[in-house]
């Protein structure tokens, strides 16, 4: 069974509430933080409803899940206080991950800030050695995430990832989280040459190290080094390319995790598109939403065809406009999905559907376009 899910919250009832949220999206895997990703405040792990969560996971046939390390960890920092916080906090997060029964904790490798990339690679490897030596009682792997290359972050190339691994003593406990948005933004052409990208990764790092794949579309063209996610099909990568990633035989058996942004006009009512994205990538939209949903997507297709709107051309043209024309962006900053939503509501096409329901159908329409 395809192990696919999304990032979910880890709130008051810990693993139990996280599992219930994941089930609501139709997930067969999911990713959590063990606390807020922006700070070090943590509730005791034994208060996180682990037993109840595991029972709920078993009932939903959810097996392997993933933990993500907090963003504030920077093993690449030259500042001793920042570096030591990163080492100590990551060790604690590994122990919490172990208590949850999870095998992989995803980590942004780090940033070299005022130094250089060579320093960053050395410093991160030094930190990983210290972290792994201090947690050798666990079976948790650190999944280094491939990065987009914004700012001074390390992990923007397969070569940098390989260099870190080569310098780590217990590198059998290093796995990889490959992020589709990140490697696209870093300059790897997964749209037109996925096989070539995977071959290069295998040559430099090894496909056997990939444990997790983050599946996100990108708001920016290849090589932009921006790292701005967008729902599947509404960005520069597109549904077909991401679908090929998810079903590629070289990546079979991995956990595929969505980190796409929530969408909606009102920040208070914004919702993720996880449920429809998972159903589309699983190839089970009718089973999840019913045949009426399919008919309404077909209505959307007819509606946009009459207006001579080609989905891929529309999406890419709007992103190009927003990137290259400052005056146009200032006059109308709406992103592609929002513009499509406005066209549908202005035409009163589905007056009885909620904003979330209309967006679900738009995502499905973008995915079905050839």
List binding-site positions for Zn(2+).
68, 108, 145, 179, 182, 214, 227, 229, 259
Phi/psi for 307 (5° steps) reads: -90, 5
Q: How far apart are CA 145 and CA 154, in angstroms?
A: 10
Q: How far apart are CA 256 and CA 179, in angstroms?
A: 10
Tokens at residue 262, please? 């929530």
Binding-site positions: 68, 108, 145, 179, 182, 214, 227, 229, 259
Phi/psi for 211 (5° steps) reads: -110, -30
Cβ neighbours around 196 below 10 Å, total: 12
Q: How far apart are CA 101 and CA 58, in angstroms?
A: 13
Cβ neighbours around 293 below 10 Å, total: 18
Q: How far apart are CA 251 and CA 248, in angstroms?
A: 6
Please list, in sequence order, all residues whose beta carbon lies within 8 angstroms of the beta carbon of residue 337, skipping any fewer than 6 positions away: 230, 231, 234, 263, 359, 362, 363
Give the C-alpha distances (Å, rounded to integers) separating 251 from 185, 189, 199, 298: 20, 17, 12, 32
270 burial type by CB count under 10 A (0-12 exposed, 13-18 middle, 19+ buried): middle
């Amino acid at each position: 069974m395809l192990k696919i899910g999304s990032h979910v919250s880890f709130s008051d009832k810990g693993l139990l509430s996280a599992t219930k949220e994941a089930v609501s999206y139709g997930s067969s895997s999911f990713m959590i933080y063990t606390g807020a990703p922006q700070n070090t405040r943590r509730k005791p792990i034994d208060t996180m409803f682990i037993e109840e969560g595991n029972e709920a996971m078993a009932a939903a046939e959810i097996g392997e899940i993933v933990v993500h390390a907090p963003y504030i960890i920077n093993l690449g920092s030259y500042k001793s206080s920042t570096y030591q916080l990163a080492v100590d906090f990551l060790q604690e997060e590994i122990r919490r991950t172990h208590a949850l029964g999870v095998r992989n904790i995803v980590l942004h490798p780090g940033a070299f800030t005022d130094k250089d990339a060579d320093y960053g690679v050395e410093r991160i490897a030094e930190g990983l050695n210290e972290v792994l030596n201090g947690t050798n009682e666990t079976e948790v792997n650190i999944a280094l995430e491939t990065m987009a290359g914004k700012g001074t972050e390390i992990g923007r190339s397969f070569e940098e990832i390989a260099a870190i691994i080569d310098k780590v003593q217990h590198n059998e406990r290093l796995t990889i989280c490959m992020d589709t948005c990140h490697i696209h933004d870093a300059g790897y052409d997964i749209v037109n040459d996925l096989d070539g990208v995977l071959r290069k990764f295998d040559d430099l790092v090894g496909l056997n190290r990939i444990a997790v794949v983050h599946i996100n579309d990108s708001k920016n063209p290849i090589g932009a080094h921006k790292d701005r996610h967008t729902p599947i099909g509404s960005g520069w990568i597109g549904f077909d390319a991401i679908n090929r990633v998810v079903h590629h035989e070289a990546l079979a058996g991995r956990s595929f995790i969505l980190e796409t942004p929530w969408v909606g006009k009102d920040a208070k009512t914004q919702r993720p598109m996880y449920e429809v994205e998972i159903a589309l990538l699983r190839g089970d939209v009718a089973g999840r939403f019913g045949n009426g949903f399919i008919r309404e997507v077909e209505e959307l297709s007819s509606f946009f065809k009459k207006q001579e709107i080609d989905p891929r051309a529309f999406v890419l043209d709007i992103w190009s406009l927003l990137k290259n024309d400052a005056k146009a962006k200032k006059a109308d900053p709406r992103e592609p999905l929002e513009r499509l939503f406005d066209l549908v509501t202005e035409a009163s096409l589905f007056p009885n559907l909620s904003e979330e329901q209309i967006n679900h159908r738009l995502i499905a329409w973008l995915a079905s376009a050839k």
